[in-house]
Structure formats: structure tokens, C-alpha cells
Amino acid sequence: MTLLMLSFVYGCNQSSNTSNNGDTNTDATIDKVQPTQSSKTKVVTTFLPMYLFTKAVAGDVADVQILVTPGTDVHEYQATPDNVRAIATANILVKNGLGMEEFLEDTVKNAKNSQLVEIDASKGIKVINDISPVEETKEKKKDHDHDHKHEHADGNPHVWLDPVFAKQQVINIRDGLITADPGNKEVYQANAAAYIQELENLNTEFQQTLNKTPNCTFITFHDAFPYIAQRYNLKQVAVVEIPEDQLSPTDVQKAINAVKKYKVKTLFSESGVDNKLLTSLSQDLKLTLYPLDSLENGETNPQYYFQAMKSNLQNLAAGCK
Ligand SMILES: [Zn+2]
């Protein structure tokens, strides 16, 4: 409590006009000027899926923030001073883990928040590595080693794209929130239960739709879908690990090689990738190009997960038909 009060006093000594100066932990009785919002537990999440799941569980009883604003690439993300401040004044930090948030370790260190509770949403999830082939040439690896450090040392981190693992992440987030903020236990439980029910329905929908196209092999330009592939008996061949703004001639050649090597049904790309090149590539290969969303970017409404995943399902089904 002493620490909390000190941090409160410190906050006040700064500018009184400074908004969001981090006194979120202050007991409401200490200062009546503080808006009621500031008594809420402050939860900082790393990137979009972690925000969506946490917001779904917390509803309005906690103040949920996001570090990596949608529109920026989480794989290549560099932390900002605002990120450090947000963590410094947070009660809880929710991360995907598995090496996804490479910027985080140093940022947390710099924030020097000894009270911070960290929730690792991927706790207990059995990761996979090298299950789906990644088409990568040695030359390419050497060229990009310095700016593509993202090597999935802890396994492929894109677990949120499997509705079953997403459920596990929601459970981990729920339990972490309850431990850190037991006063709102019932709200967290009820919100999580509703969201989990939707995830279970989504899983059923995926099963029922994709069991019509077993072993469908597809090419992606982002190694983000091995969990969906594993769960629903499909096969992903990733041409590049992380989406690049522009595909190189080498990438194009790799896609052509992969089509020759595997019985590829379709190509998937995300927005932000050079679609002109992909379109002409798909025409050359006589394969249809569909979008597939990794949910690393998008809307911040928790229902966005279901919207994006349902259109992913439609596109997977169309491409695999
Ligand atoms: Zn990714």
C-alpha cells in the first residue's frame, strides 16, 4: 500500500493536467478528484488477439489497453516510450508468449514495475514446430537474418488461430485476471464462459466444414496457419515466415517449386502483401488466390475474432473445394 501511495504522490507532482498518469491503482478514497475509472485494474495486452481475448473476459470492469496498435507489424515491432509507461503503471500484462513479442522483455525491464502480474496466455499449450513445411532457401535466410530474428525458438507462436487453443488462452487469461483481481471473479467467469461457448461453436463449424476437404494443401506467405492445418487435417506450406510488403523473385520461385512438390489446391495471402504479384503468380499457377487473416491486425471489438475467423473458414473451404 505504501508503494501504491508513493506512486500516487509521484504522479501528482507531475503535471496535474497529464491524463492517464498511471494512478490506476490508487484507492478511490485517497483522492476524490480521481475519476472512478482510475480505480479499475489496469491490464496491458501486447497485440490484437491478446487484446480481443482479454477485453472479452474483462468487459468493463478492468481497463484494457493494447501496446502494439493494429496497423503495425508485431513481428518487427519496436517498443515506444509510451509502451514503457503503460507497463510501468499497469497491474497486469497479458502476452501470447512463445517468442511472439520479441520487444517485450526489454520493455518490461525498462518499466521497472515490480508489482506487475504477467499472464502467459499460451501456458499449457503444446506448440508445434516444423510440422508444416516452410519453403526457405539458404540464401534467403542469410540475406534476412539480421532483420528477421523471429525464428520461433519456442515453437510457432500463432496459436490463437486455432479455436481450441484460443479457448485455452481465454481460460489462462480468465484465471490470471481472477488471481490478480479476485473482486471481479464472477464477471470474469461469466464473460469468459460466453466467449468460450462461441469458440466452441466456431470449432464445430470449422470441423463440419473442413472435414469435407481432408489433406487439402495450401500455400501461405506467412507461417501463421500450421495450427489450423493441424487441427482440421489440412496442410500448410509457408513460403515465407513473416509477411513481407513485397515478395522477391526468390519467393515467387519458391511458390512455384512448392506447387510442383506438393499437390497444392490454393494460395492464401494477407492484406499488406504485394497482391499484384500474387495475382499474376496465381494466374500463372492456375490457382485461385484467397485472403487469410492472421488477426495480427484488425478491429478491436472482441467479436472481430469470430468475424475474421468465419471469413477465414469460408475462404479455406472455397480454396480447398
Ligand atoms: Zn505472424
Q: Is the pLDDT of residue 21 over 60?
A: no
Summary count for the chain: helices (H), strands (E): 11, 8
The pLDDT confidence band at residue 29, using thresholds 50, 70 and 90, is very low
Q: Is the pLDDT of residue 243 over 80?
A: yes
* Any domain includes 256: yes
Ligand 1 geometric centre to CA of 243 (Å): 7
Ligand 1 geometric centre to CA of 3 (Å): 38
Q: Is the pLDDT of residue 22 over 80?
A: no
* Any domain includes 303: yes
* Any domain includes 172: no
* Any domain includes 277: yes
* Any domain includes 299: yes
Average pLDDT of every residue of the chain: 85
Comparison of pLDDT for 101 and 151, the residue scoring more: 101
Q: Check residue 32 and give its pLDDT.
A: 45
Q: What is the pLDDT of residues 172-211, one digit of tens each?
A: 999 999 999 999 999 999 999 999 999 999 999 999 999 9
* Any domain includes 90: no
Using CA atoms, how far apart are residues 301 and 1, in angstroms rounded to an integer? 34
* Any domain includes 64: no
Q: Check residue 272 and give its pLDDT.
A: 73
The pLDDT confidence band at residue 157, using thresholds 50, 70 and 90, is very high
- In the chain, % of residues over pLDDT 70: 81
Ligand 1 geometric centre to CA of 14 (Å): 39
Q: Check residue 277 and give its pLDDT.
A: 85
Q: Is the pLDDT of residue 219 over 80?
A: yes
* Any domain includes 32: no
Ligand 1 geometric centre to CA of 173 (Å): 21
Q: Check residue 35 and give its pLDDT.
A: 46
Q: How many Cα atoms sit within 13 Å of 181 on the Cβ side? A: 27
Q: Is the pLDDT of residue 226 over 90?
A: yes
Mean pLDDT, rounded, for 209-215: 96
Q: Check residue 148 and give its pLDDT.
A: 42
The pLDDT confidence band at residue 273, using thresholds 50, 70 and 90, is confident
The conformation of residue 134, written as its DSSP 8-state character, comes to B
Using CA atoms, how far apart are residues 130 and 305, in angstroms rounded to an integer? 26
Ligand 1 geometric centre to CA of 312 (Å): 15
Q: Is the pLDDT of residue 132 over 70?
A: no
Ligand 1 geometric centre to CA of 248 (Å): 19
**pTM exceeding the 0.75 threshold for the entire prediction:** yes
Comparison of pLDDT for 224 and 14, the residue scoring more: 224
Q: How many Cα atoms sit within 13 Å of 287 on the Cβ side? A: 24
Q: What is the pLDDT of residues 99-115, one digit of tens each?
A: 999 999 999 999 999 99
Number of domains in the chain: 1
Ligand 1 geometric centre to CA of 56 (Å): 22
Ligand 1 geometric centre to CA of 74 (Å): 8
C-alpha grid cell for residue 308? 475474421
Ligand 1 geometric centre to CA of 219 (Å): 15
Mean pLDDT, rounded, for 292-309: 97
Q: Check residue 17 and give its pLDDT.
A: 39
| Domain containing residue 252 | 209-320
The CATH number given to whatever domain includes residue 291 is 3.40.50.1980
Q: How many Cα atoms sit within 13 Å of 198 on the Cβ side? A: 18
Q: Check residue 136 and give its pLDDT.
A: 61
The conformation of residue 72, written as its DSSP 8-state character, comes to S
Q: Check residue 10 and give its pLDDT.
A: 38
Query: 1 CB contacts (<8 Å, ≥6 apart)?
Result: none
Q: What is the pLDDT of residues 57-67, one digit of tens each?
A: 999 999 999 99
Q: Is the pLDDT of residue 230 over 60?
A: yes
Pair 129, 105: CB distance under 8 Å: no
